[in-house]
Amino acid sequence: MLHTVNKSPFTNNSLDSCLDCVGNGAAVLLIEDGVYGALKGSKVADKVKAAMGKVTIYALSADVKARGVADKMIDGIKMVDYAGFVELAAENDKVHSWL
């Protein structure tokens, strides 16, 4: 299952809720302000790193670049472009948007 999170974890708890619910082997894609969830050294970074043991976390590269945080991403977060987003949506049997 693919989960998309589009909110900053500093204004909203959707990333937190998402990580509490995801199943093993799921994919989590951070888009829009959601990419702030992939920031190194933030107060949510430990939870994100811990989740990376059971799910793969991706960030949408255009949104990362637009916010100037490309060099501040947690190691192991995978960058995807829009084509990669489409691929993730196709590969996973369902897409859930944490709006």
Contact with other proteins (CB under 8 A) among 15, 19, 31, 38:
31
Give the tokens for residue 55: 């799910």
The one segment of 19-27, 35-43, 44-52, 75-83 that binds other proteins by CB under 8 A: 75-83
Is residue 11 a contact point for other proteins (CB under 8 A)?
no
Residue ranges binding other proteins (CB under 8 A): 6, 31-33, 60, 62, 81-83, 85-87, 89-90, 94-95, 97, 99
